[in-house]
Amino acid sequence: MQELIGAEINGYRLVRLLGRGSLGQVYLASNATGSQEKASSALVACKILSTLTPREEQLPSLLAALQELSTLQHEHLLPLLAYGYDQNHGLPFVVMPYVTAGSLGARYPRGTRLPLLTVVRYATELASALQAAHEAGWLHANLKPENVLLGDNEQLLLSEVGLWSLVRRFSSRTASMSAGASGAIPTGSPYQAPELMAGQPTLASDQYALAALCYEWLAGVPPLAASESTGTAPHERLPHLPELSAAVEAALAQALAPDPAQRFPSVQAFAEALSRAAAALEVAVPQERELVELWLQQGNEHYRHGRWQEALTAFNEVLRRDSHNVYAYNRRGQVYCELGRYQEALADFNAAIRLAPNDPTAYHHRGFLALQQDRLEEALEDYTTVLRLEPGRAVSYNNRGRIYLELGRPREALADLNEAIRLDPHYAPAYFNRGNVYEELGERERAISDYTEALRLDPSHAPAYFHRGILYQQQGDLERALADLDEALRLDATDATAYLVRGEVRAALEQLEQARADFDKAIELDPQNPEAYLQRGLVLRRQGETARALADLSEAVRLAPADPLAYRERASLYEEQGDFDRALADLEAAIRLAPAEALSYAHRGNLHRQRGEIEEALADFEQALRLDPHLVTAYLYRALLYAEQGELAAALADLTEAIRLAPEVAEAHYYRGLLYADLGELQAALDDLSEAIRRRPEEAAFYRERARLYELQGRPQYALADLERARRYAPEDEEIWQAWQRVRQLLRSDQR
């Protein structure tokens, strides 16, 4: 069979192989031709009927038959969503819902024995589906546990009804094959009636297969194997099951009769007879295995509805009656996790692993628990075991990728997440986690692309909005950052970090009141977050609330005594208040905590400058520029020092270098403009002051100084216009008011 992963079959893209069967291969598929929304939300199972090989002239009849089969509807039949014949690959196919819970064959491995009440329920559901198919003229002919799927609510869904009939009818090889040849009749199944193996299937053949399933669920072995183990001829006599009533055994024996005519009139009649026989049991209390199954069902129902204590009671009862029930240990472990009782959860997962060391389920649960508790090496070991036992699980590659990332191994994380996406291209968490890896590697565009894809697949993924918002913030795209953070908080209004980051974005957008409200909320949700106090302190300082700003910055220092930023910001506030001693103490603390951080030296140098400590200031500026030759702040502060010392050429060189490094910094243009003015180069000074205003048009001091130069040039009209703007931004500034009055008076005098 050709490799079809990635191929497109009549508008369906085959994502990965789910399994192989006697009819062909089943692939996980997506709608490749529909809208993106439809493709992302509707994964399906596409069965390639490679056994069915129609001749060209048979294709219209085949498609008509598939159309008829697609109209067959029943609550316990897996429906056909689509069907067709792909001309490019020469293959017929059918499309069915993708059922994630698996089959009864996977749920109950060979040797499993089920309670009679459970078997009766299964027989009743399957018989009703088969009866509906028979009445519509369709035979199953290949009933086995692998073809019985479990729906979301544990209801049974029978698949492959009618498909073997189509194989017999339309395969171009059928005519040249013997009755039992592979492709015409499914062979090798212990559930096949004698007439089916002889190539003469009837409706009663499905009744035989259903009875064989029921017998195996009750006895632990299929009837043919049971007959062989007792030395009896096949189909001659079933071994006696002492725990069952004679009526139950009689119902099974009649349905398993070698002659179809001796079986029940219909498969529905068999199910009803089995149900009556079970109800007539003389034992009033269900047998132990039946009680176990009932408690399991109750536990699962409680779990689905989040009733943790009730679920715990049910699974406790299961394990009291059956201390080797692996499924119950796994489920009870999950309940303990929900209740926060992690040690008991771990004990249950360990018990499940001891009982079934080759079952990946408990390793997965134990690994996820270890991941939540930051026991990363243990989690890594468990997920590696899961992938050894079941290498096709996208979720396991995704989770192991998360672990590698948290362990600081991004390249290995990237490999696992790439594999998760290859296995399931519609798995949103894998794109989100790969975005985290790219973010860690500094590949912002790739990270944004992955977060965007995660959100296309799952628009309710709040962390993807949050992370993409942070990247937009880092790129300076504040409006898009704000939109993403708004959406993240709409989806999860309890995320303190999202409020913190949105506050930072709003502060950068000069939305100070909204920023302050966000920091208030972040602190309310997480009162021990030093960054929230730091950022709120900075906003309060900008709003002129110095005392409250100082209190917040001091709280940030208390909560994060090893954070140099908190000390440096508090030092800046002390400096603004003229408390140079405290400012100096904070800057020395910042340098002690981070001796390689250039900015702290630059700030300390500026403090020494203001205290008149010239040598100390120069030493700090030189150290800052040794550590970071591109630190604009150090050039600005040193330029001020040189200007104060009359070294105007050195000051001009530093300011020019600052502008070369960061032409967007308005202060550099402003100070150089003042310096040019002192040097008598008025036009150069005006150019720089105009650039400073262009960069920061709301700064009153910039207009005031340019007005002064216009006045010196004898251009009072321009000076007055600048002073009008300065007054608008600083209406309380007395110096601006006096200059405005003087220029107005000058203009009036000129007019007279």
Pure H helices in 83-178: 104-107, 116-135, 163-170
Q: How far is CA 495 from the centre of its chain?
A: 16
Give residue 481's pLDDT: 97
Give residue 413's pLDDT: 97
DSSP H or E stretch at residue 158: strand 156-158
What is the rounded distance in angstroms from the CA atom of residue 584 to the CA atom of residue 574? 9
Mean pLDDT across the stretch 382-390? 91
What is the rounded distance in angstroms from the CA atom of residue 650 to the CA atom of residue 667? 17
Contacts of 595 (CB under 8 A, 6+ apart): none
Q: Are 76 and 190 in contact (CB under 8 A)?
A: no
What is the rounded distance in angstroms from the CA atom of residue 115 to the CA atom of residue 256? 20
Beta bridge partners, 96, equal: 45
Q: Is the pLDDT of residue 399 over 50?
A: yes
Residue written as token pair 């009139």 = 265
Q: Is the pLDDT of residue 479 over 50?
A: yes
DSSP H or E stretch at residue 685: helix 682-695
Measured between alpha carbons, how far is residue 22 from residues 29, 44, 182, 185, 241 in Å? 20, 20, 9, 10, 32
State pLDDT tens for residues 488-533.
999 999 999 999 999 999 999 999 999 999 999 999 999 999 999 9
Mean pLDDT across the stretch 72-79? 92
> Which DSSP string do the residues of 339-364 spell out, in sequence order?
TT-HHHHHHHHHHHHHH-TT-HHHHH
What is the rounded distance in angstroms from the CA atom of residue 602 to the CA atom of residue 622? 9
| Banded pLDDT at 188 (limits 50, 70, 90) | low
Mean pLDDT across the stretch 644-660? 96
Instruction: Look at 367 and 234; give whichever has higher pLDDT.
Output: 367
Q: In this structure, what token pair is assigned to residue 207? A: 């009744």
Beta bridge partners, 46, equal: 27, 95
What is the rounded distance in angstroms from the CA atom of residue 259 to the CA atom of residue 254? 10
Q: Is the pLDDT of residue 443 over 90?
A: yes
Q: Is the pLDDT of residue 181 over 60?
A: no
State pLDDT tens for residues 287-319.
567 778 888 888 888 898 899 999 999 999 899
What is the rounded distance in angstroms from the CA atom of residue 528 to the CA atom of residue 558? 10
Beta bridge partners, 85, equal: 92
Contacts of 505 (CB under 8 A, 6+ apart): 469, 473, 478, 481, 482, 485
Tell me the chain's radius of gyration from C-alpha atoms: 39
Mean pLDDT across the stretch 624-636? 97
Q: Is the pLDDT of residue 34 over 50?
A: no
Helix-, strand-, coil-residue percentages of the chain, each rounded to 5: 65, 5, 30
Average pLDDT of the chain, as a whole number: 89
By three-state DSSP, how is residue 752 classified?
A: coil
Other CB atoms within 10 Å distance of the CB of residue 628: 17
What is the rounded distance in angstroms from the CA atom of residue 312 to the CA atom of residue 299? 7
Mean pLDDT across the stretch 414-432? 94
Helix 360-372 / helix 326-338 crossing angle, nearest 10 deg: 20
Nearest alpha-carbon partner for 592 in 614, 616, 563, 572: 563
What is the rounded distance in angstroms from the CA atom of residue 502 to the CA atom of residue 69? 56
Candidate from 77-91, 280-294, 403-417, 575-589 with smallest mean pLDDT: 280-294
Half-sphere exposure of 335 (CA within 13 A, CB side): 25
The percentage of residues in the chain with a pLDDT greater than 90, rounded to a whole number, is 67
Contacts of 434 (CB under 8 A, 6+ apart): 401, 414, 417, 418, 421, 450
Contacts of 72 (CB under 8 A, 6+ apart): 79, 80, 132, 133, 136, 138, 161, 162
Candidate from 311-325, 463-477, 537-551 with smallest mean pLDDT: 311-325
Mean pLDDT across the stretch 475-481? 96
Give residue 172's pLDDT: 55
Beta bridge partners, 26, equal: 19, 47
What is the rounded distance in angstroms from the CA atom of residue 300 to the CA atom of residue 101? 13
| Banded pLDDT at 239 (limits 50, 70, 90) | low
Report the predicted TM-score, pTM, of the whole model to 2 decimal places: 0.60
Q: Is the pLDDT of residue 323 over 60?
A: yes
What is the rounded distance in angstroms from the CA atom of residue 201 to the CA atom of residue 192? 10
Give residue 234's pLDDT: 43
Mean pLDDT across the stretch 313-336? 92
> Which DSSP string do the residues of 441-479 spell out, in sequence order?
TT-HHHHHHHHHHHHHH-TT-HHHHHHHHHHHHHTT-HH
Mean pLDDT across the stretch 451-476? 95
Nearest alpha-carbon partner for 407 in 435, 442, 370, 432: 370
Q: In this structure, what token pair is assigned to residue 618? A: 């120069």
Give residue 446's pLDDT: 97
| Banded pLDDT at 240 (limits 50, 70, 90) | low
Q: Are 319 and 325 in contact (CB under 8 A)?
A: yes
Phi and psi, residue 619, nearest 5°: -60, -40
How many angstroms separate the most distant Cα atoms in the chain? 133
What is the rounded distance in angstroms from the CA atom of residue 515 to the CA atom of residue 580? 29
Instruction: Look at 505 and 228; give whichever has higher pLDDT.
Output: 505
The percentage of residues in the chain with a pLDDT greater than 70, rounded to a whole number, is 91
Sheet of strand 44-48: strand arrangement: 8-9, 12-20, 25-31, 44-48, 91-97, 82-86
Nearest alpha-carbon partner for 125 in 265, 254, 290, 274: 274
Give residue 153's pLDDT: 66
Measured between alpha carbons, how far is residue 221 from residues 212, 213, 217, 356 in Å? 9, 9, 7, 20
By three-state DSSP, how is residue 517 classified?
A: helix
Long-range contacts of 243-251 (CB under 8 A, 24+ apart): 243/287, 244/116, 244/218, 245/277, 245/278, 245/280, 245/281, 245/282, 247/276, 247/277, 247/280, 248/116, 248/274, 248/277, 248/278, 248/281, 250/277, 251/277
Q: Tell me, what amino acid is at 343?
A: Q
Q: Are 736 and 727 in contact (CB under 8 A)?
A: yes
Instruction: Look at 188 and 496; give whichever has higher pLDDT.
Output: 496
Q: How far is CA 92 from the centre of its chain?
A: 35
Mean pLDDT across the stretch 372-400? 91
Candidate from 50-59, 172-181, 204-213, 545-554 with smallest mean pLDDT: 172-181
Q: Are 78 and 157 in contact (CB under 8 A)?
A: yes
Q: Tell me, what amino acid is at 56?
A: E
Q: Are 398 and 427 in contact (CB under 8 A)?
A: yes
Q: Are 355 and 322 in contact (CB under 8 A)?
A: no
Q: Are 428 and 434 in contact (CB under 8 A)?
A: no
Nearest alpha-carbon partner for 108 in 225, 238, 214, 230: 214
Q: In this structure, what token pair is assigned to residue 166? A: 């189509």
Instruction: Look at 617 and 360; give whichever has higher pLDDT.
Output: 617
Give residue 625's pLDDT: 97
| Banded pLDDT at 51 (limits 50, 70, 90) | confident
Q: Are 139 and 97 in contact (CB under 8 A)?
A: no
Q: In this structure, what token pair is assigned to residue 460? A: 């309710």
